[in-house]
Structure 1
Amino acid sequence: MKEYQTITEISGPLVFAEVDEPVGYDEIVEIETPQGDTLRGQVLESSEGIVSIQVFEGTGGIDRNASVRFLGETMKMPVTEDLLGRVLDGSGNPIDGGPEIVPDERRDIVGEAINPYSREYPEEFIQTGVSAIDGMNTLVRGQKLPIFSGSGLPHNELALQIARQATVPEEEEGEGEGSEFAVIFGAMGITAEEANEFMDDFERTGALERSVVFMNLADDPAVERQVTPRLALTTAEYLAFEQDYHVLVILTDMTNYCEALREIGAAREEVPGRRGYPGYMYTDLAQLYERAGRIEGKEGSVTQIPILTMPGDDDTHPIPDLTGYITEGQIMMDRDLNSQGIEPPVNVLPSLSRLMDDGIGEGLTREDHGDVSDQMYAAYAEGEDLRDLVNIVGREALSERDNKFLDFADRFEEEFVQQGYDTNRSIDETLEIGWDLLSNLPKTELNRIDEELIEEHYREDETAEAVQAD
């Protein structure tokens, strides 16, 4: 371990130092200030004779007299099953007043890419208890399914609800027995108020017992935000592939993570890409998102729900745009539904789960799941179109059939999507609500459902009452 006092420049979160021997990329650095404080950093760029170092705790107190030590190893996360129930800061240090972590091993936070040949195709249903997700945009074990939100929308409440309620239903014939469920919660750039809300909810509901929480606050250094999701995912991979847990990783807010990338790119005087973000942001995000998945021969799995707030509610912004390319769908939160008091305000029409068809149906959920979902999509979409028409011609100009679809759209939002943040619905309850709604439409309009399923589940009396009322 060699020590230098050769700092040449300090720029934002970066420190530049001269060296006389090769230094490895991502190598961990200790910087001792003249005041005696020791700060940690990581080599961001290494060239002949000079290195740039990103300092996790910020560069305050560092001057040209500070000492720089290169430790000869990359950053590692101490992992153990005992991490469950613990709260850590954005650098992986305990902040819950508990004992020091005694790790089973220390793992490189960059992780290793899953061999495509060894990947198992995701096709096991995860029940979140949220009808708009389970019924219409089903989450599958090993999937990466982001939530696209906007500033001021209640994405934190939805994240906490999923963290509390998510389970993997027992599989048939004993397959997968013994696999437990765990949640890794990685918060980046959140306010102290939000952090307190998260912790109060975790403690109140008992969800903390099966969770590991990483907290990077808004007043913490931006550089730390680049480390937090990697620490969280390294912990998730250990619990999934060594301890056989089904792990759900919730990362919020990815917009803050990308802003940290932009800040560091500007400090390095890089040529910016779209809207000032680094040109390598796609690759950087892919390195995080692609750590979700299943491995052949392993019971556990890593499922990701990254949450991002779209600046200006713009889904063409680089952050949601690139995220959409990498992940397998998206859950869209809607400002209009939120203003109507719908909880959670999930707009199912632009939402999508590309792996849904593989995770539902006979043996996975109920055999009517796919048909009910397709029919509700079609009916709700038609009702939405008719709402636009009503604004022009008035409801009285519509036919009896069209009025039924308008009523369906209203009831779909009020009874199916609306459920509050404390209601945990099983997939059976979700589909039964779906049948209640569909039974208010004539059988002849249910053209996306198998006739046998209609005969089994259609509520004749509800339609008769509706006709009588008309």
Structure 2
Amino acid sequence: MKEYQTITEISGPLVYAEVDEDIGYNEIVEIETPQGDTLRGQVLESSEGLVAIQVFEGTSGIDQNASVRFLGETMKMPVTEDLLGRVLDGSGRPIDGGPEIVPDDRIDIVGEAINPYSRDYPEEFIQTGVSAIDGMNTLVRGQKLPIFSGSGLPHSDLALQIARQASVPEEDEESEDGEGSEFAVIFGAMGITQEEANEFMEDFERTGALERSVVFMNLADDPAVERTVTPRMALTTAEYLAFEKDYHVLVILTDMTNYCEALREIGAAREEVPGRRGYPGYMYTDLAQLYERAGRIEGREGSVTQIPILTMPGDDDTHPIPDLTGYITEGQIYVDRDLESQGVQPPVDVLPSLSRLMDDGIGEGLTREDHADVSDQMYAAYAEGEDLRDLVNIVGREALSERDNKYLDFADAFESEFVDQGFKTNRELETTLEIGWDLLSMLPKEELNRVDEEFIEEYYREEDSEREVVEAAD
């Protein structure tokens, strides 16, 4: 290690220092302040004779008399199976009062891209217990399925519900050697308030979900630079558990908007030429490096599934963050403000939501064969009911036909009985599909043009029978 006292400039979260040797990109740096504090940083830019260092803890206390030491290695995450049940800060250090981590390995947080040839196609179901997701936008192991939300909407409650309830169906847990793969959740929080952090931790501890989870917490008053490290720490841990310890890992990252704001802050400090709305031009590449770390590898039992959560500024899905995220990921789940104002929990709008891998994860095997037909028919019926609501505002409900009124009733029942299940209800997929058939039985048989005849014969409730909405899980 070489030590320098050659700091020439401090700009926001960045420190510039002169050097007389080649310094590697992403190399870890220790900066000792005149007050005796030691801060950690990372080389952001390296050119002949000058390096730019982003300081994780912020540049407060650093002046030109500070010492800079280059450690000759990139940032690594200490990993071990014993991380399950632990709470760490955004840089991977324990903050739960537990013992220091004794790692089995230390892995570069940048990670390695999965060779496309070695990727195993995602086609196995993950049950979240949320009907609007399981029934209409099914999550598949190895998928990346973001949640698009807005400021003030209860995406945190939905994230906690998924973290608490997500599971792999028992009949699919067994591997070829007859041993099951365990399920784990990695929860990476970026730029959240202390109140949100307390809410997360209370829920994890109360429900026992913490035992199978690793939590990374970067708070709003923590340095923005640390926010760029947090998701990489979380994903490195997930990859270790999945591909070395054969876990099925669900990674929940919230809030990706705060992460992108940190990128913009660093870009401004570096005086980079901004891209759309002031965000760095390389933001697409940066997000892709994170999202593409989801997947399955041939010959490995484990998997990494991602649910990134982002709040759309101004509820605008053409904003660069949701826009670029949508290009990279395999669909999106929309949290809707109108449904939330009506008291629907969780307020998931299934019409703009999409899971591009849903068809590969349902049907034969784990889920019932009628799953795809039920989903398609409910989607079509709800969409027609939504269109008719607009017409009712113009001509009134009395002017509509009996058929149209049935679709309006279906749309109301779909929201109140299928989508609105509460944040504490965990529905089995069987229950979700039973509710779906109860709702479809509100419509005449001849309207079910997206459902196979054999399924109609088996599951349809005749009009003269009493319609019973399944509420066992509620």
Q: TM-score range by the shorter chain?
A: over 0.9
Q: Which amino acid is the alignment partner of residue 218 of structure 1? A: A
> Corresponding residue for 2:430?
428
1:48-67 equivalence runs, <5 A: 48-67=48-67
Indicate which of 316, 334, 337 corresponds to 1:335.
337
> Corresponding residue for 2:121?
121
Task: Report the alpha carbon displacement of residue 379 of structure 1 after superposing the two structures with TM.
Answer: 0.2
Q: Does 1:14 align with 2:4?
A: no
Higher mean displacement: 456-465 or 319-328: 456-465
Asked if the contact 2:34–2:66 (Cα under 8 Å) also holds between the matched residues in 1, the reply is yes
Indicate which of 415, 418, 422 corresponds to 2:417.
415
Asked if the contact 1:361–1:368 (Cα under 8 Å) also holds between the matched residues in 2, the reply is yes
> Corresponding residue for 2:3?
3
Asked if the contact 1:11–1:267 (Cα under 8 Å) also holds between the matched residues in 2, the reply is yes
Structure 1 residues 399 and 73: CA distance shift in structure 2, 3 A:
same
1:42-81 equivalence runs, <5 A: 42-81=42-81
Q: Which digits, 9 at most, give the CA deviation of each residue in 1:78-137, with x for residues without a partner?
A: 000000000000000000000000000000000000000000000000000000000000
Asked if the contact 1:29–1:70 (Cα under 8 Å) also holds between the matched residues in 2, the reply is yes
Separation (CA, whole Å) in 2 of partners of 1:108 and 1:462: 64
> Corresponding residue for 1:347?
349
> Corresponding residue for 2:472?
none
Asked if the contact 2:173–2:181 (Cα under 8 Å) also holds between the matched residues in 1, the reply is no
Asked if the contact 2:255–2:309 (Cα under 8 Å) also holds between the matched residues in 1, the reply is yes
Separation (CA, whole Å) in 1 of partners of 2:226 and 2:301: 32
Asked if the contact 2:174–2:180 (Cα under 8 Å) also holds between the matched residues in 1, the reply is no
> Corresponding residue for 2:290?
288
Separation (CA, whole Å) in 1 of partners of 2:467 and 2:305: 44
Asked if the contact 1:128–1:162 (Cα under 8 Å) also holds between the matched residues in 2, the reply is yes
Indicate which of 191, 194, 206 corresponds to 2:193.
191
What is the alpha-carbon root mean square deviation over aligned residues? 1.1
Task: Report the alpha carbon displacement of residue 463 of structure 1 after superposing the two structures with TM.
Answer: 6.3
Task: Report the alpha carbon displacement of residue 175 of structure 1 after superposing the two structures with TM.
Answer: 3.8
Asked if the contact 1:440–1:462 (Cα under 8 Å) also holds between the matched residues in 2, the reply is no
Separation (CA, whole Å) in 2 of partners of 1:172 and 1:17: 55
Task: Report the alpha carbon displacement of residue 465 of structure 1 after superposing the two structures with TM.
Answer: 7.5
Task: Report the alpha carbon displacement of residue 263 of structure 1 after superposing the two structures with TM.
Answer: 0.1
Q: What is the identity percentage for the equivalent residue pairs of Structure 1 and Structure 2? A: 89
Asked if the contact 1:148–1:308 (Cα under 8 Å) also holds between the matched residues in 2, the reply is yes
Separation (CA, whole Å) in 1 of partners of 2:467 and 2:397: 21
> Corresponding residue for 1:305?
307
> Corresponding residue for 1:217?
219
Structure 1 residues 463 and 191: CA distance shift in structure 2, 3 A:
same
Q: Which digits, 9 at most, give the CA deviation of each residue in 1:288-332, with x for residues without a partner?
A: 000000000000000000000000000000000000000000000
1:97-112 equivalence runs, <5 A: 97-112=97-112
Q: Which amino acid is the alignment partner of residue 217 of structure 1? A: L
> Corresponding residue for 1:393?
395
Task: Report the alpha carbon displacement of residue 364 of structure 1 after superposing the two structures with TM.
Answer: 2.6
Q: Which amino acid is the alignment partner of residue 428 of structure 1? A: E
1:26-37 equivalence runs, <5 A: 26-37=26-37
Separation (CA, whole Å) in 2 of partners of 1:25 and 1:462: 72
Asked if the contact 2:173–2:180 (Cα under 8 Å) also holds between the matched residues in 1, the reply is no
Q: What TM-score comes out, normalization by structure 2 length?
A: 0.97
> Corresponding residue for 2:133?
133
Structure 1 residue runs without a partner (length 5+): none
> Corresponding residue for 1:159?
159
Asked if the contact 2:442–2:463 (Cα under 8 Å) also holds between the matched residues in 1, the reply is no
> Which secondary structure state, in structure 1, belongs to the residue aligned with residue 69 of structure 2?
strand
Separation (CA, whole Å) in 2 of partners of 1:19 and 1:60: 22
- Structure 1: which 4+ aligned runs deviate by more than 2 Å? 170-177, 461-466
Asked if the contact 1:442–1:463 (Cα under 8 Å) also holds between the matched residues in 2, the reply is no
> Corresponding residue for 2:142?
142
Q: Which amino acid is the alignment partner of residue 106 of structure 1? A: R
Separation (CA, whole Å) in 2 of partners of 1:138 and 1:227: 30
Separation (CA, whole Å) in 2 of partners of 1:270 and 1:117: 36
Separation (CA, whole Å) in 2 of partners of 1:86 and 1:457: 46
Structure 1 residues 323 and 445: CA distance shift in structure 2, 3 A:
same
> Which secondary structure state, in structure 1, belongs to the residue aligned with residue 23 of structure 2?
coil
Asked if the contact 2:197–2:217 (Cα under 8 Å) also holds between the matched residues in 1, the reply is yes
Q: Which amino acid is the alignment partner of residue 169 of structure 2? A: P
How many positions carry a matched residue from both structures?
Answer: 466
Asked if the contact 1:440–1:463 (Cα under 8 Å) also holds between the matched residues in 2, the reply is no
1:373-392 equivalence runs, <5 A: 373-392=375-394
Q: Which amino acid is the alignment partner of residue 180 of structure 1? A: E
> Corresponding residue for 1:440?
442
Task: Report the alpha carbon displacement of residue 22 of structure 1 after superposing the two structures with TM.
Answer: 0.4
Separation (CA, whole Å) in 2 of partners of 1:19 and 1:199: 44
Task: Report the alpha carbon displacement of residue 464 of structure 1 after superposing the two structures with TM.
Answer: 7.5
Asked if the contact 1:91–1:224 (Cα under 8 Å) also holds between the matched residues in 2, the reply is yes
Q: Which amino acid is the alignment partner of residue 27 of structure 1? A: E
Q: Which amino acid is the alignment partner of residue 73 of structure 2? A: E
Separation (CA, whole Å) in 1 of partners of 2:5 and 2:96: 36
Task: Report the alpha carbon displacement of residue 172 of structure 1 after superposing the two structures with TM.
Answer: 5.4
Asked if the contact 2:344–2:415 (Cα under 8 Å) also holds between the matched residues in 1, the reply is yes
Separation (CA, whole Å) in 1 of partners of 2:467 and 2:423: 32
Separation (CA, whole Å) in 1 of partners of 2:175 and 2:302: 12
Separation (CA, whole Å) in 2 of partners of 1:340 and 1:258: 31
> Corresponding residue for 1:365?
367
Structure 1 residues 173 and 412: CA distance shift in structure 2, 3 A:
closer
Task: Report the alpha carbon displacement of residue 182 of structure 1 after superposing the two structures with TM.
Answer: 0.1
Q: Which digits, 9 at most, give the CA deviation of each residue in 1:207-252, with x for residues without a partner?
A: 0000000000000000000000000000000000000000000000
Structure 1 residues 49 and 102: CA distance shift in structure 2, 3 A:
same
> Which secondary structure state, in structure 1, belongs to the residue aligned with residue 368 of structure 2?
coil
Separation (CA, whole Å) in 2 of partners of 1:356 and 1:273: 34
Structure 1 residues 300 and 31: CA distance shift in structure 2, 3 A:
same
> Which secondary structure state, in structure 2, belongs to the residue aligned with residue 231 of structure 1?
helix
Task: Report the alpha carbon displacement of residue 173 of structure 1 after superposing the two structures with TM.
Answer: 9.8
Q: Which amino acid is the alignment partner of residue 136 of structure 1? A: M
Task: Report the alpha carbon displacement of residue 362 of structure 1 after superposing the two structures with TM.
Answer: 1.4
> Corresponding residue for 1:265?
267
Indicate which of 275, 278, 285 corresponds to 1:276.
278
> Which secondary structure state, in structure 2, belongs to the residue aligned with residue 460 of structure 1?
coil
Task: Report the alpha carbon displacement of residue 178 of structure 1 after superposing the two structures with TM.
Answer: 1.4
Higher mean displacement: 455-464 or 179-188: 455-464
Q: Which digits, 9 at most, give the CA deviation of each residue in 1:274-300, with x for residues without a partner?
A: 000000000000000000000000000
Asked if the contact 1:439–1:463 (Cα under 8 Å) also holds between the matched residues in 2, the reply is no
Indicate which of 191, 206, 217 corresponds to 2:208.
206
Separation (CA, whole Å) in 2 of partners of 1:362 and 1:218: 45
